[in-house]
Amino acid sequence: MFEDLKREVLQAALESYREGLFAGTSGNLSIYDRKNGVMIITPTNLPYEGMKEKDLVAINLQGEVIDGIHAPSSEWRLHAAVYAAREDCNAVVHTHSPYATSFAVTHEEIPLILIEMVPFLGGNVRVAKFAINGTPEVGTYAVEALEKRFACLLANHGAMAIGADLAKAKLSAVYLEDAAKIYAFARNHGEVKILSKDVELAMRKKYNLD
Ligand SMILES: [Zn+2]
């Protein structure tokens, strides 16, 4: 069941692992078939090396397994909360990528410092309030921080990116890590200039974001 979606999820998971967005068994991603109310998500506690399509899990937004031989990622509630709240998003990539996560640790948002943060991330990157991983609060707080955004940081935990499809969510996750790295470098050698509200509004208009 859901072979095409499983293939897409597996490919993105393996790529994320090779690119260093995921380390060990950390990080997880999913895609949502909104018409059928089915999410395909990476399994819990399984190394990415050697992961196969049959290892992916199909669940509904209540976490009930529809198809699969493993339990879903322990972070499935985070994914489900986003799909319930954001009809514009059908894919979620959750990482512990080091530069982005370093700002999640200091509870500092990444301000709007790069013009392309608007199309890829929706603007500045906020930090969602702290919650124990796997609890419903992780999702509730993430949805708050994601208002009009495609990415956020999870306090003392990690980072996440969302998108209309998996390719877009994955690209946003990569871009988020890159923006966090550039922000860290810039702060080390000078005064960071944040883009003005006028520029932000002009960019939102250019990309039809409201
Ligand atoms: Zn996590």
**pLDDT tens digits, 72-125:** 999 999 999 999 999 999 999 999 999 999 999 999 999 999 999 999 999 999
Q: Residue 87 Cα, ligand 1 centroid: separation in angstroms?
A: 23
Q: Residue 106 Cα, ligand 1 centroid: separation in angstroms?
A: 16
Second-level CATH architecture of 3-206:
3-Layer(aba) Sandwich (3.40)
Q: Residue 111 has which token pair? A: 């301000």
Which distant-in-sequence residues (6+ apart) come within 8 Å of 150 by Cβ? 89, 120, 121, 122, 161, 162, 163, 168, 169, 172
> What is the structure's pLDDT at 206?
95
Cα four-point dihedral sign 58, 64, 69, 72? positive
Q: Residue 123 Cα, ligand 1 centroid: separation in angstroms?
A: 22
Secondary structure (3-state) at 17: helix
What are the residue boundaries of the structural domains of the chain, listed by start? 3-206
**pLDDT tens digits, 15-33:** 999 998 988 888 999 999 9
157 pLDDT higher than 90: yes
Q: Residue 126 Cα, ligand 1 centroid: separation in angstroms?
A: 17
Q: Residue 68 Cα, ligand 1 centroid: separation in angstroms?
A: 21
Q: pTM to 2 decimals?
A: 0.96
**Residue 200 designated active-site:** no
| CB-based contact 46:81 (threshold 8 Å) | no
| Among 19, 49, 53, 75, the one annotated catalytic | 75
210 pLDDT higher than 90: no
